Amino acid sequence: MKKISCSIAQTWITAYVDGSLDAKSRYSLEHHLLYCPQCRSVHVATAGLLSRLKEDVPSEPGETFWRQYDSSLNALLREKEIDRDRSELSWNVVPPALAAFALILAFGLGLVSRLSVPTRSLDTLSPQVVEELDRLYGPSLEEEISLRGGGLTIAAANCDPLGDDAIVPWFEVEEDAYHFPQWDQTSGPTDRQSSRRLDGRVASLDKIGSALRQDVPHRPECKQRLDASLPRS
């Protein structure tokens, strides 16, 4: 057995009392304590201290405490779960909301660009582009003809009297005041006190056709094309 000094013995005493000293060291220490009163007093003091510390523990709270503790903890966690569910829900809503917003934005931008195209300067565009724009958005100024008859003034686009293959893909109708009583039987405008433009695409094509045929005898090429392209009433 290895003899140990007091300083080593006193270093080991805490671990010895604590129960964490290995067997060999424990044996050496116990032997040392047998003949060393100074280290023995340190051992007694340490054992007393740890014993008092272990004794001085708060007693377990009563059932009332645990009931309140459990219920308030459960309530807090439920609240937390609700918060988490809400946050997950809002994250689930974000992508569709963004998609809807993007769609609305695209539609809005499309509408704006559609409305703004006819105001662009056509001089800078090639004839093919002008023709395509006319087909889509309306007439270029040179190709517009104005026809009157039956209480309507019809501005027809691409009804070219020189005879290319344009038909009437776009037209505007102005309703003359106090005329064209047929509108009363249709879903057409009822305020005939005013004269205004109608979008040709919502007017009945056969009405437009008959009005145009009635008023284009001085433009036979245009009439021919109207006969070919517009329905007869």
Binding residues (CB under 8 A) for another protein: these are 11, 14-15, 18, 20, 42, 45-46, 49-50, 52-61, 65-66, 68-70, 72-74, 76-77, 80-81
Q: Are 222 and 198 in contact (CB under 8 A)?
A: no
**Closest CB to another protein among 57 and 202?**
57
For residues 15 and 205, which CB has a smaller minimum distance to another protein in the complex? 15
Distance CA 216, CA 221 (A): 9
Question: What CA–CA distances, in Å, run from 227 to 72, 92, 168, 231?
Answer: 85, 57, 11, 7
Least distance between another protein and beta carbon 126 (Å):
60
Enumerate long-range contacts of 99-103, CB under 8 Å, 24 or more apart.
none
Residue 133's closest CA among 154, 158, 108? 158
With contact defined as beta carbons under 8 Å apart, do 191 and 177 qualify?
no
Please, which residue, 80 or 197, has the CB nearer to another protein? 80
- DSSP tag of 105: H
Amino acid at the residue 129: V
> Least CB distance from residue 77 to another protein, whole Å?
7
CB of 35 to another protein, least distance (A): 22
**Residue 13 or 155: which CB sits closer to another protein?**
13
CB 15, min distance to another protein, A = 7
Query: Least distance in Å: CB of 50 to another protein?
Result: 7
Is the Cβ of residue 82 or residue 99 nearer to another protein in the bound state?
Answer: 82
Q: Tell me how far, at minimum, the Cβ of 106 lies from another protein, in Å.
A: 35
Cα 232 from Cα 214, distance rounded (Å) = 12
**Beta carbon nearer to another protein, 53 or 162:** 53
User: Burial, 83: exposed, middle or buried (Cβ in 10 Å; 0-12, 13-18, 19+)?
Assistant: exposed
